[in-house]
Chain A
Amino acid sequence: MGRYFSLSAASLLLASGHAGARSVLEPVGEEAQQIAVLFWVMLSGGALIWLGVVALLLHAALFKRHGMNERSASRIILWGGVVFPSVTLCALLAYALWLMPGLRPFTQAMGSTALRIEITGRQFWWEVVYHPPQGPPVTSANEIRLPVGERVELTLKSADVIHSFWIPPLGGKMDMIPGRTNRLSLLATKPGAFRGPCAEYCGTSHALMAFSAVAMEPEAFRSWLAGQANPAESAGASGGALFLRHGCGSCHFVAGTDARGLIGPDLSHLGSRITVGAGILPNTEDAIARFIARPELIKPGSRMPAFDMLPPDDIRAIAAWLRGLQ
């Protein structure tokens, strides 16, 4: 019962936390724009053909009471059943293929001035490393920020099973395959916050594996990235001490502290993220505390053990400290 309750609570939050999250039909990325046009072309073409077939069917059923001679029947089959589908399919295929180089524009994005973001799928979260053209790499998790109007290269990997990376309003999907590096490039055209789901079944909590994607104005993005490169200051140092004392640091990394674990998500700037638990809970102290106490209720199959044996005050202090890591 408890599991069902928390799962439905999580999905409610999922729905409300991303209210207004855009879909593929409201594109704000160059690639997604082309995909949306392709969708509407296919849909209208399909609708026209369907109407034509239904009209023919009605015509035959209602008005055409007598048979047709063999010659005209053969002609209808030849033109309607062979020539028309072949030509239409050929045209649609040509249109889709013509779009492809634009949907996967790699060489242009490969310039050394481009920002590269390395994303590794893990059951059931995302490791994110920014490689800016200048400066050291910046590590984060479960949230991807990118500058508007600049092409960004994404390097996609997996540490365990096949995942699939997808930001619907920005571009198409790309699989993350263990032992392989796939590349994707995206260009956001408007600022906004979007939800990116894992688009390939990857295990028990596949449906609860998501991330937030934020497209920001280039200047805002650069100052944000510069801030992420430095350790965050959080009030409530007692929470920080408890975090280390209870061993959280053996799995999680928090910049500027002795927490150097690399098994779970990097928490250096957890407080500045839109969601916690990889895109499924709003970023509140309460949600963080619930995750610490019983991760398997929120994310079944998660590798993080439950910490509900800790005193509730300790959990709250740790949650407050993490929330303060802006």
Chain B
Amino acid sequence: MRLIPKEVETLWTLFTAPVVWIAHFLVCYIGAAIYCAKPELVGLSFSAVRAGIAAATVIALSLIALSAWLAWRQWGFGTDDPPHDDPTSRDRSLFQGFATLLLSGLSFIAVIFTAMPALFLTECIR
């Protein structure tokens, strides 16, 4: 699977996981805020909000895992050790793959931390 042609050098793959983290954060916080401010507008129970957060979390974690796998592949499955600091396009690609892999790990943990309150909170508190 290749979303971007190999000859195109782009930094976008690097940002994929953090962008998923941002999107998940906004969905969780804005969703909960709207529900708690105007429950009658949404017309759902708080359990539905928690289920929505769970679904968003599963989607976000899957996307981040996919991004991590692609990064792992770009990094050559760890065949070369960092630092990838030669001025060659190969090292540039390996460096980007490794950096993406690390950012994916950070985003994965961050998404879990963002979602954890929904495990324990059972009502809107105002």
Interface residues of A (CB under 8 A from B): 70, 82, 86, 89-90, 93-94, 97-98, 100-101, 104, 106-107, 182-183
Name A106's contact: one of B105, B119, B125 (CB within 8 Å).
B125
Q: How far apart sit A86 and B109, CA to CA, in the bound complex (Å)?
A: 7
Q: Are A82 and B105 in contact (CB under 8 A)?
A: yes
Asked whether B123 is an interface residue with its Cβ less than 8 Å from the other chain, the reply is yes
Residues of B within 8 A of A98 (CB): 120
Q: Are A70 and B120 in contact (CB under 8 A)?
A: no
Q: Are B122 and A101 in contact (CB under 8 A)?
A: yes
Q: How far apart sit A25 and B105, CA to CA, in the bound complex (Å)?
A: 38
Residues of A within 8 A of B112 (CB): 90
Residues of B within 8 A of A89 (CB): 113
Closest to A94 in B: B116
Q: Are A183 and B120 in contact (CB under 8 A)?
A: no
Q: Are A100 and B120 in contact (CB under 8 A)?
A: yes
Chain A proximity mask over B96-125: 1 for CB below 8 Å, otherwise 0: 000000000100010011001101111101
Interface residues of B (CB under 8 A from A): 81, 105, 109, 112-113, 116-117, 119-123, 125-126
Closest to B112 in A: A90
Q: Are A101 and B120 in contact (CB under 8 A)?
A: yes
4 additional A-B pairs beyond A106-B125, A183-B125, beta carbons within 8 Å, are A82-B105, A97-B121, A100-B121, A183-B126
A-B contact pairs, 10 of them (CB 8 A): A82-B105, A86-B109, A90-B112, A94-B116, A97-B121, A98-B120, A100-B120, A100-B121, A101-B121, A104-B125
Q: Which 9 A-B pairs have the closest CB atoms?
A: A97-B120, A104-B125, A86-B109, A97-B117, A98-B120, A97-B116, A93-B116, A106-B125, A93-B113
Residues of A within 8 A of B105 (CB): 82
Residues of B within 8 A of A104 (CB): 125
Judged by DSSP, the binding face of A is helix
Q: Are A97 and B122 in contact (CB under 8 A)?
A: no
Q: How far apart sit A100 and B117, CA to CA, in the bound complex (Å)?
A: 9
Q: Are B125 and A70 in contact (CB under 8 A)?
A: no
Our count of residue pairs bridging A and B at CB distance below 8 angstroms stands at 32
* Chain B nearest Cβ from A97, distance in angstroms: 4
* Chain B nearest Cβ from A156, distance in angstroms: 12
Q: How far apart sit A99 and B99, CA to CA, in the bound complex (Å)?
A: 36
Closest to A182 in B: B126
* Chain B nearest Cβ from A270, distance in angstroms: 34
Residues of A within 8 A of B116 (CB): 90, 93-94, 97
Q: Are A97 and B123 in contact (CB under 8 A)?
A: no
Residues of B within 8 A of A101 (CB): 120-122
Residues of B within 8 A of A93 (CB): 113, 116
Residues of A within 8 A of B125 (CB): 104, 106, 183
Q: How far apart sit A90 and B125, CA to CA, in the bound complex (Å)?
A: 23
Q: How far apart sit A86 and B113, CA to CA, in the bound complex (Å)?
A: 10
Closest to A183 in B: B126
Q: How far apart sit A100 and B125, CA to CA, in the bound complex (Å)?
A: 11
* Chain A nearest Cβ from B119, distance in angstroms: 7
* Chain B nearest Cβ from A72, distance in angstroms: 14
Residues of B within 8 A of A106 (CB): 123, 125
Known: A70-B81, A82-B105, A183-B126. A90 touches B113 (CB 8 A): yes
Closest to A74 in B: B81
* Chain A nearest Cβ from B64, distance in angstroms: 14
Q: How far apart sit A103 and B59, CA to CA, in the bound complex (Å)?
A: 32
Closest to B122 in A: A101
* Chain A nearest Cβ from B11, distance in angstroms: 24
Residues of A within 8 A of B126 (CB): 182-183
Q: How far apart sit A183 and B125, CA to CA, in the bound complex (Å)?
A: 9
Closest to A106 in B: B125
Q: How far apart sit A98 and B120, CA to CA, in the bound complex (Å)?
A: 6
* Chain B nearest Cβ from A91, distance in angstroms: 11
Residues of A within 8 A of B119 (CB): 94, 97
Q: How far apart sit A221 and B88, CA to CA, in the bound complex (Å)?
A: 80
* Chain A nearest Cβ from B85, distance in angstroms: 15
* Chain A nearest Cβ from B77, distance in angstroms: 16
Closest to A105 in B: B125
Closest to A180 in B: B126
